[in-house]
Every structure is written in structure tokens, then in C-alpha cells.
Amino acid sequence: MKRFILIISVLILVFLTACDYEAARSYDINLTGKQEVHTVNSSASGTAKVDLVKVKQGDYTANILKIRGTYKNLSGPATAAHWHGPALEGEDGPIVFKLKLVEGSTPGSGTFSGEKDLTDNQLHFYLAHYSYINIHTAKYKKGEIRGQIQ
């Protein structure tokens, strides 16, 4: 058993030495109805922490985008949440990836999260602030709240 633990410990040490973890860009963003391109009359709001983490292993560098956030006071349960881009502030953009929703105990509140290994193009528009997060409801199918990543 001691030999097994020693082998696992050595493998973990080798892996950690081969990987170079570096926090690249982090943003705290606010999501509101006023940021939506279409008209939204909602008191809903949200916050998100968005982190870009570079993970190097040998010659490969992964650019992992991590999104974690909360929302409250939506007009009803959230039906979807996404990261969109490329899109400037005031523009709609295509969905890049879907975020996981967890509805809270209060209707119209909850959390969202997700992560994705970005392509070079996605990394470019993230770093250029050409992306946003939005949360959709049945009442606001195009999105009830939005936050531009900047």
C-alpha cells in the first residue's frame, strides 16, 4: 500500500511540474435588462465572475474560460443561459456555449456556470471584449438580462 501511495504521489508531482497554471484575465460583470439589445422592462439582475485560465502541458496551451454567477428577480424561471460572441455592446451575437442553470429556492433566482476550452478565434473576441452572457426566460425569449464582458 505504501508503494502505491508513493507511485501516485510521484505521478501527481510529475503532472504538476509539467503543467504551468496561470490566471490570464478575470472580470466581474453585472447583468441587467438595460444591456439587452431589445426592450426589457425588468428589475432582474445578476453578477458573474469570468476567468480565463491558461493551462500549459508540454507544447499545448489550453485557454479555459470559466463562468460562475447568480441571478435574481427574473420574470419567471430561467429557461437558458449562454455565452455569446463575437458581439459588441448593443449587438446580438451567436451562442458560443450553453451555461448550466440551477434554479434557487426563490422563483426567478439561481446560479449559472460553465467552462470551455477556447479556440484561437474565441480567445481573440473574449480578450477584445466582444462577448457577453445572457439569461433567457419564457417572457423574454431573446434574454431578460445581459452582461457584456469588459
- The predicted pLDDT at position 1 comes to 54
Tens of pLDDT, residue by residue over 109-148, are: 999 999 999 999 999 999 899 999 999 999 999 999 999 9
Rounded Cα distance between 78 and 85, Å, is 20
Which of 14-23, 33-42, 61-70 has the least mean pLDDT? Answer: 14-23
* Cell (9 digits) for 108: 426567478
- The predicted pLDDT at position 7 comes to 44
**What value does the mean pLDDT of the chain take?**
86
* Cell (9 digits) for 89: 455592446
Rounded Cα distance between 93 and 142, Å, is 11
- Which residues, 6+ apart, have CB-to-CB distance to 136 below 8 Å? 78, 79, 80, 81, 82, 142, 143, 144
Are 19 and 53 contacting, i.e. CB atoms less than 8 angstroms apart?
no
DSSP code at position 99 = P
Whole-model pTM: value is 0.81
Rounded Cα distance between 66 and 120, Å, is 16
Domains of the chain: residue spans and CATH: 25-148 (2.60.40)
80: pLDDT confidence band, cut at 50, 70 and 90? very high
Provide the terminal-to-terminal Cα distance of the chain, rounded to the nearest Å.
51
Tens of pLDDT, residue by residue over 50-62, are: 999 888 878 888 8
